[in-house]
Amino acid sequence: METEAVKSIAAALAIAIGGFGPALAIGLLAGKGLEAVGRNPEAASKIQTAMILAIAFAEAISIYAFVMALIIKFV
């Protein structure tokens, strides 16, 4: 019974910590991307492409944290 509680707490911490970093990164990326487009609207397509790619990489990290939380919980 105690191991289930520890697994639940560990899984919750893994997803909380693993989700916080990418969420912060995505927010900063979007904000800086909008600032860059505001300063140079002609380069919007290049900025948007790079921003979406960076957001995808940050999102992959949060998915990895989610998978690790599931492994901790159910294995």
- Is CATH 1.20.1440.230 the right assignment for the domain spanning 2-74? no
Q: What average pLDDT does range 11-25 have in this prediction?
A: 93
pLDDT tens-digit map of 33-48: 999 999 999 999 999 9
Cα–Cα nearest to 11, from 58, 65, 63: 65
Q: What average pLDDT does range 15-33 have in this prediction?
A: 94
Question: Domain boundaries in the chain?
Answer: 2-74
pTM: 0.80
